[in-house]
Amino acid sequence: MRAVILAAGAARRLAPLTDSIPKCLIKIGDKSLLENQLDALQRYGVDETLIVVGYLKEQIMEKIGSQYKTMNISYIENPNYATTNTVYSLWLAREYFAGQDFFYFNADVLFHYSLIGKLLEVPHETALGVEVKPCGEEEVKVIVKADQRIVRIGKKLDPTECLGEFVGIAKFGASLTTDFATALKAVIDEGLQMSFFEAAVDRILDKHTMYSVDITKIPVIEIDFPEDLERARKQIYPKIVSIDE
């Protein structure tokens, strides 16, 4: 297994905090979000990682390069980070994940490392971490069948039909990578480069089986707004620490 971490965005919704630091380097507890993710990957023996960078990329590369010298970490730049979204950043990584099983991470997710173990233990080649809960308009949501097979994913779904929120962490199987890259490119070619990468996932669900994995009991939060950061520090991080204690 290898991993792809998307860390290119400028996170304007967290300004002025992110005026001088990329979101993934914001500390929660004694580690940044990105350090937490890399430590979790190391724990499960995943030491080959590609980080897609853009905004304040030098800070990320300097910080991670000095601390994770034993990991095989590479970088690719999204120079258009201000005018594109995750669909474009992931497309830039297509040669890295081609023909490979790989983990996907949004770099702004705080989670207990056992979430990776939860994805690894299920027998499915492709599995997405889903927090089962009522959702609103902002969350990336999934609609699933009784066997937990995902049939739709995206923000613009009827919340009443959805199981819960995709938390931005998944494992993808090698068999879908060619079609995945093609779908990413199709979204971009249609002028939808500001879309989230889930738009490409949704397009290949009729051809590749993907499953929802319930990670509701594992502390996790994706940080987009100041209130998310406050909740991460006051509620989610203490739960993470208490598990390890």
| 156-172 per-position pLDDT tens digit | 999 999 999 999 999 99
* Separation CA 159–CA 132 (nearest Å): 12
Considering the chain, what percentage of its residues have pLDDT values greater than 70? Answer: 100
Contacts of 60 (CB under 8 A, 6+ apart): 7, 22, 24, 25, 34, 51, 53, 75
CA distance to 145, 156, 214, 241, per residue, from 30 (Å): 40, 36, 28, 11
Q: Is the peptide bond before 226 cis (omega within 30 degrees of 0)?
A: no
Bridge partners (DSSP) listed for residue 5: 51, 105
Instruction: Indicate whether 132 pLDDT > 80.
Output: yes
- pLDDT exceeds cutoff 80 at 245: no
Determine contact, residues 1/171, Cβ cutoff 8 Å.
yes
Instruction: Give me the pLDDT at residue 138, please.
Output: 87
- Is residue 93 very low, low, confident or very high in pLDDT (cuts 50, 70, 90)? very high
CA distance 23 to 12: 9
Q: What is the pLDDT of residues 35-77, one digit of tens each?
A: 999 999 999 999 899 999 999 999 999 999 989 988 999 999 9
Single pTM value for the model: 0.96
Which of these CATH numbers, 3.30.70.1400, 1.20.120.530, 3.90.180.10, 3.90.550.10, describes 2-244?
Answer: 3.90.550.10
> By the 8 A CB rule, do 36 and 111 touch?
yes
DSSP-derived 3-state class of residue 37: helix
User: Is 180 a residue whose pLDDT tops 90?
Assistant: yes
Q: Name the pairing type of β-strands 127-132 and 164-172.
A: antiparallel
CA-nearest of 91, 104, 52, 79 to 183 is 91
Euclidean distance between CA atoms 57 and 22, whole angstroms: 8
Residue located via tokens 């940080």: 223
